[in-house]
Amino acid sequence: MRTALVTAVAGAVVAFLLGLLTFGVQATAHPHDVPLAVVAPPPIAERVAAAGSAEVDLRVVGAEEARTLLADKEVYGVLEIVPGQATIRLNPAINPSGTQVAQQVLTGVAQGAGLPLKVEARAVSAAERTAPLAASALLWVGGMVAGLLFVVLKGRKLRLLSSLTTAVLVVASVTGLLAWWGVTFNAEALGFLLVVAVSFALLQAGLFKHLGIRAMGILGLLYLMAPAVAGQVPELLNPVYKAVLWSWTPFRFSTEGLRTLMYDGSVSTEWWVFGGIALVGLVLLLAGQKTQPDRPDGVVDVGVDEADRLPRAERQHTA
């Protein structure tokens, strides 16, 4: 009876926590203070500024400033209004969820002004929209599976070599898959992908070294909850999820960094983030040797001699 009750409660608690950390992100998503820029003559600009709401942050700026803000990803979209015409400009390097909200809101503004509308944006395929988050998740899964098999197969040596080899092969696998979907990377994006893969593989190998198969409790949970957050933009997230999950998840940095580099942008913070993760993983790998190999079945080798079932250190040899 006790076992039945404990297992039932455990299942309910795990389901609640996973729902809270994964599906809860999408269930509570709602736009707030989404930054948008509008370029318009004074009379229209005044009406636009007065039409602000809690969902969007409409900034009335000059044409050059608006394009700079869009290029720097400070706004999700720009609406330029000239006599008789309205134009929406979007940046493909920005999260698609953000650009979708921007286009909907700015279209409404243009229609309210009674102007014909055109959209200027680089065409982005479904595969290109999916690729940054998909690549990040697959790199994590590849390193995690390799690290887990290293434990299950009772690997003892060359864990570092295994991690680096895993990173290279997983990057090759992911880029091949994306190329099949029609997505190709420039040299800098490919280099960034390799850095991400190395950092993930080193961190996972370090955790597996010290925790054994129990590391799956941490790595598996990170995989389940992080992609759900990384696929959103902060202005769509519930403030609690933004602070507790989005602010630190490495999937967010890898997804945003790769998307930026795909469209010839530049990143800086992301290089430092994954360099730091790789360093932590390397320290874990080099921090001492386990006194016994990883055993997936939980059996601990205490050095018992098979012949007489006594510890070898205490075994007495007769003359």
Choose among 120, 123, 115, 116: nearest CA to 103: 120
**Distance, first Cα to last Cα, the chain:** 58
Burial class from Cβ neighbours inside 10 Å (0-12, 13-18, 19+) for residue 298 reads exposed
- pLDDT, tens digit, for every residue of 139-161? 999 999 999 999 998 877 888 99
d(CA 206, CA 249): 18
Residues 6+ apart with CB under 8 A from 57: 33, 34, 35, 36
Query: Is residue 15 included in any domain, yes or no?
Result: no
Query: Is residue 302 included in any domain, yes or no?
Result: no
Report angle CA 151, 153, 156 to the nearest 5 degrees.
Answer: 65
When pLDDT is cut at 50, 70 and 90, the band that residue 314 belongs to is very low
- pLDDT, tens digit, for every residue of 92-108? 888 888 888 888 888 88
- pLDDT, tens digit, for every residue of 189-206? 999 999 999 999 999 999
Residues 133, 279: one domain?
yes
Most confident of 3-7, 39-43, 268-272: 268-272
Report pLDDT for 291: 39
Residues 137, 248: one domain?
yes
Does residue 122 have a pLDDT over 60? yes
Residues 148, 277: one domain?
yes
Query: Is residue 80 included in any domain, yes or no?
Result: yes
Residues 131, 275: one domain?
yes
Q: Is this model's pTM higher than 0.75 or not? A: yes
Last residue of some domain: 89, 120, 151?
A: 120
Task: Give the rounded percent of residues in the chain with a pLDDT score beyond 90.
Answer: 34
- pLDDT, tens digit, for every residue of 268-298? 899 999 999 999 999 999 887 543 444 555 4
Residues 134, 259: one domain?
yes
- pLDDT, tens digit, for every residue of 251-268? 989 999 999 999 888 888
Q: Which amino acid is at 170?
A: V
Choose among 228, 200, 220, 221: nearest CA to 133: 228
Residues 228, 134: one domain?
yes
Q: Lowest mean pLDDT: which of 79-93, 168-182, 288-302?
A: 288-302
Scan for tokens 């297992």, then name that residue: 7
Report angle CA 198, 202, 204 to the nearest 5 degrees.
Answer: 120
Of residues 304 and 194, more confidence is placed in 194
Residues 279, 133: one domain?
yes
Residues 116, 63: one domain?
yes
The H or E element containing residue 59 is strand 56-60
Task: Indicate the number of domains in the chain.
Answer: 2
- pLDDT, tens digit, for every residue of 201-239? 999 999 999 999 999 988 988 888 777 787 788 888 888
d(CA 91, CA 256): 13
When pLDDT is cut at 50, 70 and 90, the band that residue 299 belongs to is low
